[in-house]
Amino acid sequence: MHSSFDDIPPFPNNLPLAPIAIISHAKLLEGDHDEAVRLLTAAKTHGFWYLKLQDTPQGKAFLAEADQLHAVAKEAFALPLHEKLPHALERGVSLFGYKPAGTVKTTDRDQRPDTTQFFNVSKDYVHDIARDNIRGTPITYPPEITTHTPLFQSFTSHGHACGMLILRTLASQLGLPEDSFTNLNLFDHPSGDHCRLTHKPPSPPSPDGGVSCPSSLGLPSHTDFGSVTVLFNWLGGLQVESHIDTTTKSSEGGERGEVQREWEWVKPLPGHAIVNLGDAMVTFTNGALKSAKHRVVPSPGPQGSVERYSVVYFVRPHNDVPMKALDQFGDASHTAGGAVRVAGKFSADLARTGGVLTAGEWMRQRGIQLGN
């Protein structure tokens, strides 16, 4: 069968790759104990892993839908800007719709603006659960998106089911009732869940004659703010921040700790999705699980001359979930590394609301901060 991987230049073989695990969808579905242990380790360390989808019927269908959405993305982003802008999302009002390039908060040292456009296609919109944004304004998309509603329905159902399998497995491995996290991410409740289509233009040639210009940035470094992200991309460009703890004992017996941060490439693998956890899971587990920083840089080597698309499903807690640690993880406000460290980004609002935001408000505020 034809795949979007067939049409692109190869990923160079001399780049430092993130050493992330490959987790099998089939084994998770079977309840394989060793695979569940490996998943928990991945969720506590890198916060990123590959999910091998080609070994199950549901996984195969999900992969095929991602490929079809790759084609939909090509069509939708090819529209002239004046046909996309009427559907633009608005900071603080709407999470869903079109995001032009250059609006994401710059987080890197050299403050490079992003070159990536999005269409954020709401799960609630395609399933007719809610047709308005969190502030009551109607969500709209161009016909290049809406004519594919059955495809978006199927992709979002598979994306959510995949997220629920991961959340059930993680809850069991953490010794919690199996539905502890899935109950916070219910499919038929209004939420920030969406399918995101992204497009990044080819990178301009670099001054030394290579194809990728390092001064253009796809997406600045960020953490995702929901529960689980399931990502399909075909071209390289995604990098994850590694945390190599170089803590050494000094001769005086004390510890000289230093955490070195480096960017490692995540090479797209045919037949696999890339999965990561978002900040909501850090909050619910009071820091036990990890949401890793990542960014999109120019695609490497010959891939830099090609248009880059990705297709993403974001599982996010439904809107009325309180964003706080589960009881089993204790009071987040008194421990380092937990909810307040993440949520502390909105300390003024937290003080007003007694320290807990609903997921809907949390998503809205993160959207304001990040511009997406």
Ligand X SMILES: O=C(O)CCC(=O)C(=O)O
Chain residues that interact with ligand X, rule: CB under 6 A: 196, 198, 219, 224, 231, 233, 238, 294, 296, 310, 312
Residue whose beta carbon is closest to ligand X: 310
Residue whose beta carbon is closest to Fe ion: 224
CB of 370 to ligand X, least distance (A): 9
* Closest CB to ligand X among residues 329, 362: 362
Residue 312 interacts with, from Fe ion, ligand X, none (CB under 5-8 Å by kind): ligand X
Is residue 114 at the binding interface for Fe ion, with CB under 5 A as the rule? no
* Closest CB to ligand X among residues 231, 332: 231
Is residue 124 at the binding interface for Fe ion, with CB under 5 A as the rule? no
* Closest CB to Fe ion among residues 95, 332: 95
* Closest CB to ligand X among residues 174, 370: 370
CB of 219 to ligand X, least distance (A): 6
* Closest CB to Fe ion among residues 134, 296: 296
CB of 225 to ligand X, least distance (A): 9
* Closest CB to ligand X among residues 224, 279: 224
Structure letter (DSSP) for residue 251: T
CB of 256 to ligand X, least distance (A): 34
Is residue 224 at the binding interface for Fe ion, with CB under 5 A as the rule? yes
Residue 167 interacts with, from ligand X, Fe ion, none (CB under 5-8 Å by kind): none
Cβ neighbors of 153 (< 8 A, separation 6 or more) are: 126, 127
* Closest CB to ligand X among residues 312, 339: 312
Torsion of CA 341, 343, 345, 350, to 10 degrees: -120
Total binding residues for Fe ion by CB under 5 A? 1
CB of 197 to Fe ion, least distance (A): 14
Count of positions (residues) in the chain: 372
CB of 116 to ligand X, least distance (A): 7
Instruction: Specify burial of residue 23 (Cβ count, 10 A radius: 0-12, 13-18, 19+).
Output: buried
Residues 329-348 that bind Fe ion (CB under 5 A): none
Residue 27 interacts with, from Fe ion, ligand X, none (CB under 5-8 Å by kind): none
Among 102-110, 219-227, 254-262, 337-345, which window interacts with Fe ion (CB under 5 A)?
Answer: 219-227
Compute the distance between CA of residue 212 and CA of residue 28 in angstroms, rounded to an integer: 38
Can you give the binding site for Fe ion, defined by CB under 5 A?
224
